[in-house]
Every structure is written in structure tokens, then in C-alpha cells.
């Protein structure tokens, strides 16, 4: 079947909204859960569904799933009709909104950020001539040809790579093997802020590179002159490369993964900053204890761990992890130095993260001030109607 046909009335599901569930829909939240649906009708293999009231009035439309608790990812509400063209236009508009971020110095950005671009279920990152796609929904998986065709038309990439490894895909019972369309290997050489990085979407973490930290890496570069820098949870070494480029005297990259450290080495090499860089494959929790016991000090510490809380029930344990690593990170900051610290757990609120840092500072016996709050770059928008999309938060701290 042609993808456009999936939008025809006879191929769409009708989902009848339960009484008492009008609020979520009126608030334009894109996630319509199974519990909000009284009855379903229409073909079992629908990609698209319309949410209707008792009178058959369409309240919203979007991407359907038979397996997820999120039965419908609503992309339109009320009058607006959900068509294939609307989906194409949304993707093209998201791409167009990033135009000002791409210049001679930067050719890698997040092009589509799910709910933040009114495209729940879809993430697209551009790495120079490669587009990496993550699809988190069964209905959208069926519309993959539409996504591919739109990206090809808008970007003319060498390769479109569907990574297909999101945990949500398991719930949606979708295949987990990567697929790609185009020429050559699924690797990219990108420029970011005039620096060079190797990106391997197939092997790398997430889609291959943490684009969300671009603006914070620029801050690190601006602060780094003459400083000894510690880059904890370094992954590709990106913060370390920026710091070295900004004139740091020494940069230590620490990651538990050998593959990550190999990548960090490649990236320092690409930027001619090997002479300032060191590389440690180690558990950061043990590493910071060892350095602190040795009385070692750094002028700028970056602490960007993976999400410690993957679900709400893990928040307490995660908070203890964040406190522990930040306590030692603060001890490692030389008097008058700085700490850039992050949490990318969506379940960890900004307020709780601040309390955790407060408690780490008390235990470390250091006087700490906020210089700035740190957020993802503007290519990672958060929908006002779906605050769950907010995940990365951080602080730039002055440590006396
Ligand atoms: N700051 C990076 C992104 C960090 S992602 C950037 O800007 O690109 C988190 C990293 O933490 C991953 O590379 C992962 O391998 C590493 N990691 C996870 N657990 C760790 C641990 N206990 N000790 C050290 N590194 C760890």
C-alpha cells in the first residue's frame, strides 16, 4: 500500500474518548493513553487514528500503536486534518527552523526533536551528509517511506540511517536492527563550532553524538584558557576537545567504556590537541575518589553522566548517585575553580537536582554559587504541552 493511502478514512482507526478524559485532550497533550479510550473501531493494522467524541466529532489525530500504553500520539487537535502532506510539512518546517544553526563551522544539528517539533515519536539528527533517524512508534514505522522521502527531498543526504535501537521499540514490537538507505558507510565526519568530530551512528551511543551539549561545550571552551580540566563521563571527548581548543593546559577524559575513550582519542587527534589530552578508562565513581585522596585539583570539572534514573521508581537511587559523584567532583575543584554538572534524567526535576547539588556542596564543605543554568541547545525544543520532553539540566558552579 502507498503511504498516502494509510491516511484515507477507511484505513484509519476511530478511538472513542472516555467520559471524564476531555481535559488532557483540551490541554493538547500529545500522549493519549489506553486508559482514556472507551472503544476502538477500524482496521487492526491502522497507522493513523482519529480520536472522536460521542457525536463522532474528531478531537485529535495522529500516530496509532496497538502495543504501547500511548495508544495515540496526537499530532493535530480540533479542526486541523491530519494528512500525509501535514506530516511532510511538519518535518520540512522543523528542518527549516534549524537553518540559522548551520554555517561554515557547524554541520551537525538535531533536525527533529519529537514533541518539541510537534512530531511525537520522531527524532532526526543531521551529521554532515548523514541523517540518523529514531522512530519510537508503530504507526510512524509504517510511514517510514514518507519520512525517508521527505529527508531526501529536504537534505539530499548521502545516507539516511534508521538506528532502530530505542527501548520503546521493544514495547512497540518493532524490529531492532538498523537499516539504511544511500551510499557508502554509515559514518560521518562533522564540524561543530569549527572543531572536527568522528561520528559512528551504528556503533556509537544514542544516534552517535550528543548534539544537545553543543552550547554548553562552547561555554566550556570560553572558560578553559590556562585551566586544568577534568572531563568526567567523556564519551567522544567533545567537552575535552572544546576545552583544549579554548586554551586549557591539560584535559583528562574519563569514561568507563574503552570504545568511548578510543573515540575521544580520535577526536583530540583530529583537532591537533593530543599534546594536552590524557585518557583514562575507569569507573568515574572510583576515579574521583582516587584523585581526591591524592589531593589532586582541577580548575574546571565537567560532570555529564548517563541518565541514572530511567524510570520514576529509580529517582531516589539516582539522587544518591548524583550526590556521590558531585560531592567528589566538588572536592576536586581547586579554590576559585568551576564545575559544570548535568543530569539528563527526565525523571529528575531541576528542583531535585539543585537539592542534590546543595547537599553535595554541604558535605564537600565548599562554598558554591550558581553562575548559570545550563540547558540543551535550541535545536532541542520542549513543547509547552508536553513538559515530559525536558530532560537535560545543568549548572555552572563557582566553587570557593
Ligand atoms: N559528555 C559527553 C556525553 C556523556 S554520555 C558528550 O558531551 O558527548 C555518558 C558517558 O558516561 C558514556 O560515554 C558512558 O560510557 C559513560 N559512563 C557510564 N557509566 C560510567 C561510569 N560509571 N564511569 C565512567 N563513565 C561512565
> Which pLDDT does position 76 carry in this prediction?
98
- Probe target for ligand 1 pocket from 192, 218, 231, 233, with the most ligand atoms within 8 Å of CB: 233
59 and 110, same domain (yes or no): no
Read off the pLDDT of each residue in 171-185 and give the average, rounded to a whole number.
96
> Cβ of 123: how many Cβ atoms within 10 Å?
22
Structure confidence at residue 6 as a pLDDT band (50, 70, 90): very high
Question: Which of 82, 108, 137 finishes a domain?
Answer: 82
User: Is 213 a pocket residue for ligand 1 (Cβ < 6 Å)?
Assistant: yes
Measure 293 CA to ligand 1 centroid, in angstroms.
Answer: 22
Question: Which of 82, 114, 148 finishes a domain?
Answer: 82
User: Is 239 a pocket residue for ligand 1 (Cβ < 6 Å)?
Assistant: yes
326 and 393, same domain (yes or no): yes
Considering only CA atoms, which residue is closest to atom 15 of ligand 1? 257
User: Is 82 a pocket residue for ligand 1 (Cβ < 6 Å)?
Assistant: no
- Probe target for ligand 1 pocket from 215, 255, 265, with the most ligand atoms within 8 Å of CB: 255
pLDDT mean across residues, the chain: 97
Residue 304 placed within a domain: yes
Q: Is the pTM of this model over 0.85?
A: yes
> Which pLDDT does position 310 carry in this prediction?
84
Read off the pLDDT of each residue in 215-232 and give the average, rounded to a whole number.
98
Structure confidence at residue 395 as a pLDDT band (50, 70, 90): very high
Considering only CA atoms, which residue is closest to atom 16 of ligand 1? 233
Is pLDDT of 161 > 90?
yes
Domain that holds residue 385: 210-399
Considering only CA atoms, which residue is closest to atom 20 of ligand 1? 256
Read off the pLDDT of each residue in 152-177 and give the average, rounded to a whole number.
97
Residue 203 placed within a domain: no
Structure confidence at residue 125 as a pLDDT band (50, 70, 90): very high
Q: Could you tell me the CATH number of the domain that includes residue 17?
A: 2.30.130.10
Q: Could you tell me the CATH number of the domain that includes residue 135?
A: 3.30.750.80
Residue 347 placed within a domain: yes
Residue 198 placed within a domain: no
> Which pLDDT does position 236 carry in this prediction?
98
Task: Specify the ligand 1 atom closest to the Cα of 342.
Answer: 1
User: Is 231 a pocket residue for ligand 1 (Cβ < 6 Å)?
Assistant: no
> Which pLDDT does position 27 carry in this prediction?
95
Q: From CA 265, how far away is CA 241, in angstroms rounded?
A: 10
User: Is 212 a pocket residue for ligand 1 (Cβ < 6 Å)?
Assistant: no
Residue 171: phi and psi, rounded to 5, are -60, -35
33 and 148, same domain (yes or no): no
303 and 257, same domain (yes or no): yes
94 and 172, same domain (yes or no): yes
Residue 91 placed within a domain: yes
Question: Which of 43, 60, 82 finishes a domain?
Answer: 82
Is pLDDT of 1 > 90?
no
Residue 297 placed within a domain: yes
| pLDDT tens column, 302-342 | 999 999 988 889 999 999 999 999 999 999 999 999 999 99
Considering only CA atoms, which residue is closest to atom 11 of ligand 1? 233
User: Is 258 a pocket residue for ligand 1 (Cβ < 6 Å)?
Assistant: no
Read off the pLDDT of each residue in 15-44 and give the average, rounded to a whole number.
95
Three-point CA angle 278, 281, 283, nearest 5°:
125
78 and 98, same domain (yes or no): no
User: Is 260 a pocket residue for ligand 1 (Cβ < 6 Å)?
Assistant: yes
> Which pLDDT does position 198 carry in this prediction?
98
- Probe target for ligand 1 pocket from 215, 305, 325, with the most ligand atoms within 8 Å of CB: 305
Is pLDDT of 72 > 90?
yes
DSSP 322-390: HHHHHHHHHHTEEEEEEEEEEE--TTS-HHHHHHHHHHHHHHHT--EEEEEEE---TTS---TT-GGG-
Residue 182: phi and psi, rounded to 5, are 135, -160
135 and 243, same domain (yes or no): no
Measure 303 CA to ligand 1 centroid, in angstroms.
Answer: 9
Considering only CA atoms, which residue is closest to atom 10 of ligand 1? 233
76 and 97, same domain (yes or no): no
Task: Say what angle helices 284-293 and 315-331 make with each other, to 10 degrees.
Answer: 30
255-262 LR contacts (CB < 8 Å, sep 24+): 255/280, 255/281, 255/282, 255/284, 256/281, 256/282, 256/283, 256/284, 257/281, 259/203, 260/205, 260/234, 260/235, 260/236, 261/234, 261/237
| pLDDT tens column, 244-264 | 999 999 999 999 999 999 999
Q: CA 161 → CA 37, 61, 154, distances in Å?
A: 35, 27, 15
> Which pLDDT does position 309 carry in this prediction?
84
Residues annotated as part of the active site: 344
96 and 177, same domain (yes or no): yes
Structure confidence at residue 348 as a pLDDT band (50, 70, 90): very high
Domain count, the chain: 3
> Which pLDDT does position 311 carry in this prediction?
86
| pLDDT tens column, 76-116 | 999 899 999 999 999 999 999 999 999 999 999 999 999 99
Task: Specify the ligand 1 atom closest to the Cα of 233.
Answer: 11
Find where cell 582519542 sits: 265
User: Is 288 a pocket residue for ligand 1 (Cβ < 6 Å)?
Assistant: no
Q: Could you tell me the CATH number of the domain that includes residue 273?
A: 3.40.50.150
> Which pLDDT does position 320 carry in this prediction?
96
> Which pLDDT does position 226 carry in this prediction?
98
141 and 261, same domain (yes or no): no
280 and 342, same domain (yes or no): yes
Residue 194 placed within a domain: no
Task: Specify the ligand 1 atom closest to the Cα of 231.
Answer: 1
Task: Specify the ligand 1 atom closest to the Cα of 209.
Answer: 8
Residue 201 placed within a domain: no
User: Is 134 a pocket residue for ligand 1 (Cβ < 6 Å)?
Assistant: no
User: Is 289 a pocket residue for ligand 1 (Cβ < 6 Å)?
Assistant: no
Is pLDDT of 183 > 90?
yes
278 and 352, same domain (yes or no): yes
DSSP 3-state assignment of 93?
helix
Amino acid at each position: 500500500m502507498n503511504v498516502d493511502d494509510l491516511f484515507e478514512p477507511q484505513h484509519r482507526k476511530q478511538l472513542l474518548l472516555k467520559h471524564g478524559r476531555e481535559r488532557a485532550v483540551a490541554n493538547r497533550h500529545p500522549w493519549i493513553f489506553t486508559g482514556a479510550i472507551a472503544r476502538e473501531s477500524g482496521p487492526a493494522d491502522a497507522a493513523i487514528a482519529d480520536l472522536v467524541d460521542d457525536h463522532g466529532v474528531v478531537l485529535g489525530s495522529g500516530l496509532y500503536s496497538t502495543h504501547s500504553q500511548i495508544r495515540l500520539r496526537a499530532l493535530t487537535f480540533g479542526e486541523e486534518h491530519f494528512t500525509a502532506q501535514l506530516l511532510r510539512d511538519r518535518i520540512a518546517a522543523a528542518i527549516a527552523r534549524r537553518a540559522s544553526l548551520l554555517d561554515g563551522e557547524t554541520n551537525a544539528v538535531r533536525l527533529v526533536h519529537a514533541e518539541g517539533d510537534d512530531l511525537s515519536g520522531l527524532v532526526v539528527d543531521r551529521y554532515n551528509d548523514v541523517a540518523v533517524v529514531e522512530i519510537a512508534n508503530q504507526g510512524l514505522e509504517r510511514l517510514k517511506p514518507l519520512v525517508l522521502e521527505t529527508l531526501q527531498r529536504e537534505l539530499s543526504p548521502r545516507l539516511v540511517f534508521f538506528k532502530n535501537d530505542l527501548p520503546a521499540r521493544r514495547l512497540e514490537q518493532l524490529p531492532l536492527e538498523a537499516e539504511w538507505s544511500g551510499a557508502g558507510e554509515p559514518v560521518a565526519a562533522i564540524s561543530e563550532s569549527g572543531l572536527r568530530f568522528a561520528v559512528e551512528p551504528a556503533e556509537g551511543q544514542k544516534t552517535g553524538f550528543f548534539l544537545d551539549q553543543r552550547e554548553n561545550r562552547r561555554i566550556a571552551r570560553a572558560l578553559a584558557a590556562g585551566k586544568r580540566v577534568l572531563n568526567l563521563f567523556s564519551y567522544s571527548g567533545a567537552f575535552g576537545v572544546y576545552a583544549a581548543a579554548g586554551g586549557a593546559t591539560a584535559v583528562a577524559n574519563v569514561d568507563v567504556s574503552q570504545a568511548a575513550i578510543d573515540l575521544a582519542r580520535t577526536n583530540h587527534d583530529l583537532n591537533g590537541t593530543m599534546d594536552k589530552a590524557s585518557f583514562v578508562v575507569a569507573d568515574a565513581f572510583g576515579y574521583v575518589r582516587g584523585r581526591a585522596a591524592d589531593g589532586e585539583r582541577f580548575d574546571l570539572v565537567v560532570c555529564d553522566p548517563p541518565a541514572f534514573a530511567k524510570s520514576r521508581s529509580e529517582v531516589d537511587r539516582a539522587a544518591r548517585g548524583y550526590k556521590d559523584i558531585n560531592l567528589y567532583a566538588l572536592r576536586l575543584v581547586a579554590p576559585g575553580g568551576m564545575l559544570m554538572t548535568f543530569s539528563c534524567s527526565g525523571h529528575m526535576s531541576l528542583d531535585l537536582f539543585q537539592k542534590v547539588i546543595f547537599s553535595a556542596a554541604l558535605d564537600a564543605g565548599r562554598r558554591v554559587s550558581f553562575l548559570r543554568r545550563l540547558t540543551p541547545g535550541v535545536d532541542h525544543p520542549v513543547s509547552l504541552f508536553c513538559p515530559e520532553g525536558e530532560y537535560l539540566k545543568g549548572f555552572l558552579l563557582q566553587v570557593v
